[in-house]
Amino acid sequence: MKKNTISIHWFRQDLRLSDNPALNASAKNGTVIPIYILDTKNTTERPVGGAGRVWLHHSLKSLNDSLNGSLRCFKGDPLEILERLIAEEKPQSLTWNRLYDASSIARDSNIKTRLSKTGLTVLSFGGSLLWEPWETLKADGTPYKVFTPFYRRGCLHASPPRSPEPPTSIKFVQNDSNGETHIDGLNLLTNKYWEKLVINDWRVGEIGAKERLNEFVKNEIADYKEGRNFPVKANVSRLSPYLHWGEVSPNTVWYAAKQKIQFNPHLEKDIGHFLSELGWREFSNSLLYHFPGLPKTNLQSKFDSFPWTTDESLLRAWQTGQTGYPIVDAGMRQLWQTGYMHNRLRMIVGSFLVKNLLLHWHHGESWFWDCLFDADLANNSAGWQWIAGCGADAAPYFRIFNPITQGKRFDPDGVFVRRFIPELENLPNSFLFTPWEASTKLLDKCKVKLGETYPKPIVDLKVSRERALEAFSSLKSAIT
């Protein structure tokens, strides 16, 4: 590319300045016009969810501050917006970091083809994954469908992830109008009360991502392998929203963890397990890339005939944390109140939905998409297919999480449940996960009225488990 020229960098899910390959390429070309486009044409079937819009709004504000107010925000058809902007500014190049869902790939391919014909240099980069999906194939060129060989052979035997690129000096074209006005003009916020509540415990943006990563690696990664199963323990990274929106690169996270091993070899198992979780993120994106129907289509087609039920009242009880099973309800309330859910709880509430309630995994995927700050199309879709037993490397359908034993095992002191279900805070631990087994006298003493202050169980665990296994056995042949 020519020197001392103008380049446009299109921010998407790379809302950061550090280790941003596409942005650095623009910077090498000269002065950069930074833009963000809220695509309303190519995302009609999958617009950003409610929680995602809240995070995006605050992330764009943070990014714009880092850019000294030079971020230009647009809303509409990206091709039309880019063509208009290119005609006005006459840049020599356009850069972006790649996305891996079918809609984005089709959109970007069309834009690259159309704009390249005008003489514009259009360059895309890998800034969201450790390995590109076409770099982790089997020897025969086909994609992996089982995680362990994908990670051990496809990833760890491939070239190491690129090292994070050091910060570079970037000169941005100043925005004549107020960048923040443009962000507000995207109309991402619609429910002020909930939006203020849900974002309260988070510092959104690149600075917040760096702080979270540093705190996790310094103080919380020890005992990660076991501690990550307990919702009240500080042994989870909580980096998923920052990774999804690209406020930190996976390469930065990967090498921060690897560096920790160098000085703390006794943490190798914990850190190795954390790195494998980053591997699951890679696996999900590989599945989405190679199987673009992942968000809606069962990877195991035999599940297409599974006899799901329909019951709006059961679905609503699950969504609002009113199932009568405290660990399930606490997880669902955490989701609604914080835009986040601990991974152990995601498995528990997911199993309860698709197996005890026998409701389609699409309902869970859709609700998580709307409520999670880290609502990533690849992770969310692959995760729900895993829970339902119909995906790649999925949990066996007959593996049904018991919410009572799960609660007692992973929240033994009831700290998590009491935090999100204050109506049960006075119950002793012996009845906290089975309040219906407590005597009327004890319930009265603890100010709990089943069916009024807290619901009775909406299904019987034993009966619902048997019904789920019967539904599974009704499939024409065993699922492998």
- Name the residues annotated as catalytic: 277, 280, 308, 343, 361, 384
CB of 12 within 8 A of CB of 152?
Answer: no
| 74 vs 359: CA distance, rounded Å | 39
CB of 19 within 8 A of CB of 209?
Answer: no
* Amino acid letter for position 111: I
Quickly count: other Cβ atoms within 10 Å of residue 110's Cβ: 13
Q: Which residues contact 287 (CB under 8 A, 6 or more apart)?
A: 143, 145, 294, 299, 378, 382, 391, 392
| 142 vs 39: CA distance, rounded Å | 32
Given CA atoms 355, 334, 237, 61 in this order, what sign does their dihedral have? positive
452, burial (CB in 10 Å: exposed 0-12, middle 13-18, buried 19+):
exposed
Tell me the backbone φ, ψ of residue 9, rounded to 5 degrees. -110, 125
The token pair at 403 is 């919410």
CB of 314 within 8 A of CB of 357?
Answer: yes
Cα 364–chain centre separation: 14
Nearest to 166 by CA among 25, 20, 66, 29: 20
CB of 473 within 8 A of CB of 465?
Answer: no
396, burial (CB in 10 Å: exposed 0-12, middle 13-18, buried 19+):
exposed
Bridge-partner residues for 172, per DSSP? Answer: 32
Phi-psi region for residue 223, left (φ > 0), alpha (ψ -120 to 50) or beta? Answer: left
Quickly count: other Cβ atoms within 10 Å of residue 280's Cβ: 18
| 266 vs 190: CA distance, rounded Å | 48
| 11 vs 388: CA distance, rounded Å | 34
Q: Which residues contact 422 (CB under 8 A, 6 or more apart)?
A: none
Q: Which residues contact 134 (CB under 8 A, 6 or more apart)?
A: 289
CB of 378 within 8 A of CB of 287?
Answer: yes
